[in-house]
Structure 1
Amino acid sequence: MPNDELLLRTSSHRNVADSSATITAGHAIVRALEKHGIPRVFVVPGESYLEILDGLRDSTIETVVCRHEGGAAYMAEAEGKLGELPGVVMVTRGPGAANAHVGIHTAWQDSTPVVLFVGLIPLNHRGREAFQEFDIRAWFESGAKRVLVLDSAERAAEVVAEAIFAASSGRPGPVIVGVPEDVLRQSIDRTEHPPIPRALGGMSGTDASILQSALSQSSKPLFVTGGNDWDTSTARDLTEWLERHGIAAAAEWRTEGVVGFDSPSYVGPIGYGRPRPTHDLLDETDLLIFVGTLPGDVLTNGFLARQDMYKTNFLVSIDPSLRGRSGAVSHQIMAKPSAFVRDLKSLSVEPRAQWREWTEKMRAQQVAFSEPPRPAYGDMCASMDNVMAALIPKLDPDAMVTFGAGEHTNWAHRYFPTRAFPSMLSSGNGSMGYSIPAAVAASLHYPGRQVVTIAGDGEFMMNGFELATAIQYGVAPLVIVMDNQEYGTIRTHQERHHPGRIAGTQLINPDFAALAVACGGYGARIETEDEVRPAVEQALCETKNGRFALLHLVVEQRRQAY
């Protein structure tokens, strides 16, 4: 087709789509996302959903163009953890959907609201092994709350409303929306579908009475917060209530910050690599109250802790299925965290001296454990301890941290001061490659807020080039890459199960600092302890001036044993 004829047809089509009476289904999807207040979408473009991209061009929604569908999905997942609305990601069919799947699995296991739009082949091409054809339901139904396919253009706004509702209601999670490219181009009447309200649940009078009675009989009550269904005011209100009553609170693995790092009620995180002070908390407490999450395998050491059937366990969850839990359930309160805390504030409970005594004991152990290490100097090999010693005193009060999976995350769990909710973003399912995309999403969601990323060398290489996205959208996280030239967590497992037989875990890495400079940021390579402090100070200066900074920390590798 001659270019001028193609241009004429496209122009004519847009005139119809943008007329006062009609709109294309693709543009209707964009309008519906606007109606629901979606601030941004993360995309890797594809020809299968050009009509949505065209609608985004003149939209109030920010379009964040990413470098890989996995990175885009992680950004949307992080966005879903940060606000009350789902994160939204858009990819093309086949390979694009496959690449995005890692973020969907993360959202499923982390209970994060995400909506993934996937461009699909035209309707009349189905079942003929068309270019990039795949079965969207077969691929996603086992790991998503819903899989919707827009087969009727007239339902575009309705499907968007349904997807956002499904992702956010009940136990949050990912929803997949398939959008065939020919359906997106169809013109429809301009219609709107209002947002669907979510049921928040709450404590009934019976719930309140049972909880009040359990508290009155308890000497060591423990709240455990977790999940990704919190907001700033709910976190603040729960913290104030716990402090007023002298009750202890622990955090689910990789969800620290609901009860602040400095709160006298905060006694530490529970999960893989948990500090010794919280190792036995689940069995020591005589009243366990999980809020927003459940005692799953990570928190209970493989479903082994808290197995005594006579223990008192309250689970505050809007999900009636309680999937993934361990141990006995004494009572379930069907409520999202915001509704539970709203009702908890009016609960008449007389504080007991035993509560505060036990909380103060556990709190003292947590404070000692999380005390930043002392600075070290000299020409010995650089260390993460020294980086944290240099970094922590210079952090803003509301600094955030992001990280993926690997042994490098232990320093964030132990030392990073999660003072203002939300302040920690990570992948609870242990998915690598999350750190940089999450940092980009956090920096976009909270402009001007200090964001620190801690990544391992293997983890960084999976989505590290999303730093180009950071430059493109003007965000400036501080990135620390701990380079030990190996997949350290797996090496540790090998040493445990196959001592002296190291295989498949060793790496040869590029110069990460040079990669940062190539992407347009600041990069510094650190090899000795003497180099740590000046590099950290310069990196923080760079980020405050609006440019991302990367510190390539070369640490000592354990000797190979073949």
Structure 2
Amino acid sequence: MDALAAHGVQRAYLVPGESFLEVLDGLVDSGVEAVVCRHEGGAAYMAEAEGKLLRRPGVAMVTRGPGAANAHVGLHTAWQDSTPLVLFVGLIPFGHRDREAFQEFDPKAWFESGAKRVMVLDQAERASAVVAEAMFAAVSGRPGPVVVGLPEDVLRQPVDATPHPPIPVASGGMTAHDVAVLSEALSRASRPLFVTGGNDWSPQAAAALTGWLERHRLPAAAEWRTEGTVPFDSPSYVGPIGYGRPKPTYDLLEETDLLVFVGTVPGDAITNGFVARQDWGKENFLVTMDPSLRGRSGPVSYQIVAKPDAFVRDLLTVELAVRDEWATWTERMRREQEAFAALPPAQPADGPARVDTLMANLVPGLPADAMVTFGAGEHTNWAHRYFPTRGYASMISARNGSMGYSIPSAVAASLIHPGRRVVTIAGDGEFLMNGQELATAAQYGATPLVVVVDNAEYGTIRTHQERHHPGRVSGTQLRNPDFALLARAYGGFGVRAEHDAQVPGALAAALRAIDEDGTFALVHLVVEQRAQAY
């Protein structure tokens, strides 16, 4: 625990277990807050969200066997989203291994295919060194999850150890040759496009890149579920690229004659299932610290090995003559994005509650630093389309399409940024996977605004079902509780809106409860089953 505190860890998200009692005891005087969660999946999601928000590993702690199994979903999210995360897992005593002891499992066999490293603390005197190595491995290169096994008996051994200092992380950067090659490629391109993504940015680098793009009248799109690196209202921002994208941004992939990916690579979601941008005659520059280019699809013209901050630092030395065709190209796409993101009427319509009405009444009153979190499902489309992401890490989501992420991520975001307006949009099916973490929110004073979009079904799967098996609904329908009543049972504010005319008042009451009572608030929005955002 001293080693974690030395690495700047402020909180550990955990579900306690007898396998790591000594770690729980070490938390008492460490200065690291123990955030006690209701399920290991929720704890892992909270730690993963913290890794996205703070650019250092989020920390989760769970027990062996069942606890480790429940936390696996957070590891998969961190792996596919390139998020720094360290999961500490209590293990059986060293001498009980390979005897099928109570809750025994092999952490390397379970986790090595989906973690950057799996380590087991077999020597007590190496505790601090193992922490340092785990924290380093999680953030170096392409960030990702690391698992550390803690045998119960090793944790009990007294040692007189010198704390291991943090290990510096290389950030790469552009060589003089890289600068020359990129400058030449931009100079000959008539329709260049930057695509930002990943979680390895600082707000300062994101703002600096935005300024450079705006000065050069160059456009930038956002990787799926990473909006805000270039702000929503920047004249250079032209929209998100990923599942559910508006058609104009899909067309951009084929129209542009130079793509520059920064912090990410053209993967499955960006290329619509490895279909778009596959012509090797196209020019793609990839800026990433992963020399293996894991997850990339399509042509690679040039790779720059750099983390986003280092790349932007060096990019600021590049000044190019602004070309009229760049400005025309950017302005055309910007107009399309502005039209797409224009809010619907705030006046309620007749009939059932609508998410359009909620967003139209919510967005105008949001502060500039508002942030949104969500998991997976059709309910996320409204956030992609309308939520004003005005800075890096103002949209936190799961790019592996993991359900159940909305509530844990909102709790973590509110604990990390207690003064900010945190909004989470959850589907009814998704909420019921980790909605119990609202009890954690109440216990630790997290105050997110929770919107539950209730269409009484797993909507995304129903959409696929209607496409492939029209009229044969199977395995997607839900009978839901009263989510507003559930929110009140957990210690927060809850309000239900079944009719569109009720939406503005329900939203106002929820926001008032957050601001005046210092509690989380939930709006239960009962919508039609087949309502779509676009």
* TM bracket, shorter-chain basis: over 0.9
**Residue 93 (structure 2) pairs with residue 122 (structure 1):** yes
Aligned residue identity for 2:369: D
Q: 1:55 aligns with which of 26, 29, 34?
A: 26
In structure 1, the residue matched to 2:527 is: 555
SS of 2:136's equivalent in the other structure is helix
Question: Bigger shift: 369-378 or 309-318?
Answer: 369-378
Residue by residue, what CA displacement relative to the aligned partner does 1:527-549 show, whole Å, maximum 9, x if unpaired?
11110111111111111231110
Residue pair 2:459, 2:529 contacting (<8 A) in 1 also: no
Note the C-alpha offset of 1:376. Answer: 3.3
> In 2, distance between residues paired with 1:290 and 1:206?
18
> In 2, distance between residues paired with 1:61 and 1:449?
22
**Residue 270 (structure 2) pairs with residue 264 (structure 1):** no
Residue by residue, what CA displacement relative to the aligned partner does 1:304-335 show, whole Å, maximum 9, x if unpaired?
11111111100001100001111110000000
**Residue 437 (structure 2) pairs with residue 470 (structure 1):** no
Note the C-alpha offset of 1:226. Answer: 0.3
Note the C-alpha offset of 1:377. Answer: 2.6
Note the C-alpha offset of 1:38. Answer: 0.7
SS of 1:280's equivalent in the other structure is helix
SS of 1:429's equivalent in the other structure is coil
Residue by residue, what CA displacement relative to the aligned partner does 1:413-467 show, whole Å, maximum 9, x if unpaired?
0000001221001000000000000000101111111000100000000000100
SS of 2:432's equivalent in the other structure is helix
Superposition pairs for residues 31-42 of structure 1, below 5 Å? 31-42=2-13
Residue by residue, what CA displacement relative to the aligned partner does 1:367-411 show, whole Å, maximum 9, x if unpaired?
010011102335411100011011111111110000000000000
Q: 1:160 aligns with which of 131, 141, 146?
A: 131
SS of 1:475's equivalent in the other structure is coil
**Residue 94 (structure 2) pairs with residue 136 (structure 1):** no
Q: CA RMSD in A?
A: 0.9
Runs of at least 4 residues off by over 6 Å: none
- Percentage of identical aligned residues: 70
**Residue 55 (structure 2) pairs with residue 84 (structure 1):** yes
Note the C-alpha offset of 1:156. Answer: 0.2
**Residue 337 (structure 2) pairs with residue 360 (structure 1):** no
In structure 1, the residue matched to 2:14 is: 43
Note the C-alpha offset of 1:348. Answer: 2.8
SS of 2:334's equivalent in the other structure is helix
Q: 2:479 aligns with which of 508, 513, 522?
A: 508
Aligned residue identity for 1:521: G
> In 2, distance between residues paired with 1:409 and 1:354?
34
Superposition pairs for residues 441-452 of structure 1, below 5 Å? 441-452=412-423
In structure 2, the residue matched to 1:24 is: none
Aligned residue identity for 2:9: I
In structure 2, the residue matched to 1:298 is: 269
> In 1, distance between residues paired with 2:144 and 2:431?
26
Note the C-alpha offset of 1:277. Answer: 2.0
In structure 2, the residue matched to 1:284 is: 255
Aligned residue identity for 1:554: V
Q: 1:382 aligns with which of 333, 338, 353?
A: 353
SS of 1:189's equivalent in the other structure is coil
SS of 1:332's equivalent in the other structure is strand
> In 2, distance between residues paired with 1:328 and 1:379?
50
> In 1, distance between residues paired with 2:281 and 2:216?
25
Aligned residue identity for 1:232: P
> In 2, distance between residues paired with 1:378 and 1:188?
68
Aligned residue identity for 1:533: P
Q: 1:145 aligns with which of 99, 116, 130?
A: 116
In structure 2, the residue matched to 1:21 is: none
> In 2, distance between residues paired with 1:465 and 1:537?
24
> In 1, distance between residues paired with 2:383 and 2:233?
15
**Residue 179 (structure 2) pairs with residue 179 (structure 1):** no
> In 1, distance between residues paired with 2:367 and 2:511?
11
In structure 2, the residue matched to 1:340 is: 311
> In 2, distance between residues paired with 1:523 and 1:467?
12
> In 2, distance between residues paired with 1:529 and 1:456?
18
Structure 2, unmatched stretches of 5+, are: none
Aligned residue identity for 2:367: D
Residue pair 1:373, 1:385 contacting (<8 A) in 2 also: yes
**Residue 277 (structure 2) pairs with residue 324 (structure 1):** no
Residue by residue, what CA displacement relative to the aligned partner does 1:125-180 show, whole Å, maximum 9, x if unpaired?
00000000001000000000000000000100000000000000000000000000
Residue pair 1:86, 1:168 contacting (<8 A) in 2 also: yes
> In 2, distance between residues paired with 1:298 and 1:266?
19
> In 2, distance between residues paired with 1:374 and 1:500?
32
> In 2, distance between residues paired with 1:550 and 1:332?
45
> In 2, distance between residues paired with 1:377 and 1:93?
51
Residue by residue, what CA displacement relative to the aligned partner does 1:202-234 show, whole Å, maximum 9, x if unpaired?
000110000000011011110000011111101
Structure 1, unmatched stretches of 5+, are: 1-29
Note the C-alpha offset of 1:347. Answer: 1.3
**Residue 470 (structure 2) pairs with residue 499 (structure 1):** yes
In structure 2, the residue matched to 1:67 is: 38
> In 2, distance between residues paired with 1:395 and 1:35?
36
Aligned residue identity for 1:76: A
SS of 1:315's equivalent in the other structure is strand
In structure 2, the residue matched to 1:8 is: none
Residue pair 2:449, 2:521 contacting (<8 A) in 1 also: yes
> In 2, distance between residues paired with 1:99 and 1:244?
48
Residue pair 2:206, 2:391 contacting (<8 A) in 1 also: no
Residue pair 2:13, 2:46 contacting (<8 A) in 1 also: yes
Note the C-alpha offset of 1:190. Answer: 3.0
Residue pair 1:376, 1:529 contacting (<8 A) in 2 also: no
> In 2, distance between residues paired with 1:308 and 1:421?
31
The number of equivalent residue pairs is 530
Aligned residue identity for 1:433: G
Residue pair 2:283, 2:300 contacting (<8 A) in 1 also: yes
TM-score (norm 1): 0.94
Note the C-alpha offset of 1:191. Answer: 1.1
> In 2, distance between residues paired with 1:285 and 1:49?
54
Q: 1:426 aligns with which of 389, 397, 419?
A: 397
TM-score (norm 2): 0.98
Residue by residue, what CA displacement relative to the aligned partner does 1:266-321 show, whole Å, maximum 9, x if unpaired?
00000000012212111111110000000001100111111111111000011000
In structure 1, the residue matched to 2:368 is: 397
SS of 1:298's equivalent in the other structure is coil
SS of 2:41's equivalent in the other structure is helix
> In 2, distance between residues paired with 1:240 and 1:417?
18
> In 1, distance between residues paired with 2:234 and 2:444?
35
Aligned residue identity for 1:111: S
SS of 2:453's equivalent in the other structure is strand
In structure 1, the residue matched to 2:512 is: 541
> In 2, distance between residues paired with 1:427 and 1:509?
24
SS of 1:187's equivalent in the other structure is coil
